[in-house]
C-alpha cells in the first residue's frame, strides 16, 4: 500500500470514529500529517509505511507540540525494515507510540485498547501487581509456589507484584494459572506514558536570530504568550497561554504569496482542530485582514501595545472552540 493510500485510510478511519480532522499538512516542513480531535482527545498523527523512517528530530518536534497543545503524538504505520507491525501491539519511535492501522481501528471503533507493547527484548504487558498478589494470597500460595508455576524466580514474582511488567509468555501463564486476565491496557490516547521507553524530554530549538522574527517574538511575549519556536511544523511558533493571554496561538512570519496563503489556510484548519487561534505575520502591508480564519497582521501593525495585538488577532481569526 502506498503512503498516500494509507494516509487516506487513516483519515477515513478517524472520521468514522467521530474525529474532526484538519487538512493534510501538504506544505513543508511537516513533522505531522494531520491533527484530529474528538472531545478532549487531540491526536497529532504521522502516517508512514515504514516507521523506521521516523527520525529523532521529528519525534522531538511532535512530542513538544503534544505538550504545548495538550495532545498525543502518534505514528501509524505498517512495518519496520525487518518486520510488519503486529496489530494489538504498541511500538515506540523516539518516544512516540507507533501502531498498525488495525490497532487504531480496534481502539477507536471497537473500543478495544491494545494490551501489548514492544520494548528491548521482546513484547510485554502491563501487569496488575496488586491483583496478582491478592490472587496468590487467596490461594494460600507462597512466592515460591507461584514462581514454580510460572517458571521464573521468586524474586521476579515479587517484582511483578511490585509493579514490574511481564513478558507476553508470563502473562499467558498467569491467565492459565488463575483463569483470569491480569493485563492492563496501554493508554495510547495518553501517549502510552506508563510503558514508554526512557527517552528524555526534547529540548526546544534555538530562537531565530532574524531581526524581524525576534521583533515578532518580543511583541508576542509582551502580549502575554510564552513563545515556543518550532522546526518541523507548518507554523513557526506556538504561543502558549500565560497570565494575561486568552488563547493559545499558532503563528508564522512570511510574505503573503500564493504559497503563504496556502500555509495560512492550513494553519486555520489546524487551529480549528487544536482549539487555537492562528496568525500570519507578513512583512508586507497586506490588503486583507484574514485568510480562511487565520488573522493577517502586517509589519506596520506591530506595535508596542500588547493589548492592540491581542485585539487584532481576536478580531481577525477564528475563535477557538470549546474542548
How do residues 89-137 score in pLDDT, each as one tens digit? Answer: 999 999 999 999 999 999 999 999 999 999 888 999 998 889 999 999 9
Average pLDDT for 308-318: 90
In this structure, what CATH number is given to the domain that contains residue 215? 3.40.1350
Rg of the chain, C-alpha, whole Å: 24
Residue 144 and residue 42 in one domain:
no
Who's near 75: CB < 8 A, 6+ residues apart?
A: 45, 46, 47, 48, 51, 54, 93, 96, 97, 98, 99
Say if residues 58 and 83 touch (Cβ distance below 8 Å).
Answer: no
In a domain, 204, yes or no: no
Residues 229 and 260 both lie in one domain: yes
pLDDT band at 323 (very low <50, low <70, confident <90, very high): low
pLDDT attached to residue 268: 96
CATH of the domain at 165: 1.10.260.40
Q: Cell numbers at residue 99, please? A: 501502531
Give the mean pLDDT of the chain. 91
- Please determine, for residue 7, whether its predicted confidence score (pLDDT) is greater than 90: yes
Domain boundary among 136, 168, 184: 184
As for how many domains the chain has, the answer is 3
Nearest to 230 by CA among 32, 22, 23, 20: 32
Containing structural domain, residue 130: 123-184
What is the percent of the chain where pLDDT is above 70?
Answer: 99
Alpha helices in the chain (DSSP H): 3-16, 56-69, 101-108, 129-138, 143-150, 154-161, 168-178, 211-222, 258-274, 306-316
Residue 195 lies in a domain: no
Residues 297 and 253 both lie in one domain: yes
C-alpha distance from residue 323 to each of 273, 274, 276, 315 (Å): 10, 9, 11, 21
CA angle 113–94–195, rounded 5-degree value? 40
Same domain, 64 and 91: yes
pTM of the model: 0.91
8 Å CB contact between 269 and 22: yes
Does residue 27 lie in a domain region? yes
Are residues 16 and 48 both part of a single domain?
A: yes
My answer on whether 222 and 287 are in the same domain is yes
Q: Is residue 201 part of a domain?
A: no
Amino acid at each position: 500500500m502506498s503512503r498516500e493510500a494509507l494516509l487516506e485510510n487513516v483519515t477515513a478511519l478517524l472520521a468514522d470514529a467521530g474525529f474532526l480532522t484538519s487538512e493534510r499538512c501538504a506544505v513543508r516542513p511537516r513533522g505531522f500529517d494531520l491533527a484530529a480531535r474528538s472531545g478532549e482527545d487531540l491526536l497529532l498523527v504521522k502516517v508512514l509505511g515504514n516507521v523506521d523512517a521516523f527520525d529523532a528530530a521529528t519525534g522531538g518536534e511532535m512530542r513538544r507540540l503534544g505538550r504545548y497543545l495538550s495532545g498525543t503524538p502518534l505514528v501509524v504505520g505498517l512495518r519496520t525494515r525487518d518486520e510488519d507491525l503486529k496489530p494489538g501491539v504498541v511500538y515506540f519511535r523516539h518516544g512516540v507510540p507507533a501502531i498498525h492501522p488495525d490497532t487504531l481501528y480496534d481502539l477507536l471503533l471497537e473500543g478495544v485498547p491494545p494490551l501489548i507493547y514492544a520494548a528491548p527484548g521482546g513484547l510485554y504487558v502491563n501487569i496488575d501487581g496488586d491483583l496478582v498478589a491478592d490472587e496468590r494470597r487467596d490461594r494460600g500460595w507462597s512466592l515460591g509456589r507461584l514462581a514454580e508455576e510460572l517458571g521464573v524466580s521468586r524474586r521476579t514474582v515479587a517484582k511483578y507484584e511490585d509493579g514490574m511488567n511481564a513478558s507476553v509468555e508470563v502473562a499467558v501463564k498467569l491467565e492459565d494459572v488463575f483463569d483470569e486476565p491480569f493485563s492492563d491496557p496501554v493508554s495510547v490516547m495518553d501517549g502510552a506514558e506508563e510503558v514508554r521507553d526512557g527517552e528524555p524530554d526534547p529540548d526546544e530549538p534555538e530562537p531565530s536570530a532574524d531581526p524581524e522574527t525576534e521583533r515578532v517574538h518580543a511583541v508576542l511575549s509582551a502580549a502575554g504568550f510564552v513563545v515556543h519556536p518550532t522546526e518541523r511544523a507548518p507554523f513557526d511558533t506556538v504561543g502558549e497561554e500565560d497570565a494575561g493571554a486568552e488563547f493559545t496561538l499558532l503563528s508564522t512570519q512570511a510574505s503573503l504569496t500564493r504559497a503563504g496563503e496556502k500555509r495560512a489556510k492550513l494553519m486555520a484548519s489546524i487551529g480549528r482542530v487544536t482549539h487555537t487561534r492562528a496568525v500570519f505575520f507578513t512583512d508586507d502591508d497586506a490588503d486583507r485582514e484574514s485568510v480562511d480564519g487565520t488573522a493577517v497582521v502586517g509589519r506596520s501593525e506591530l506595535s508596542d501595545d500588547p493589548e492592540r495585538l491581542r485585539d487584532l488577532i481576536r478580531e481577525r481569526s477564528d475563535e477557538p472552540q470549546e474542548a
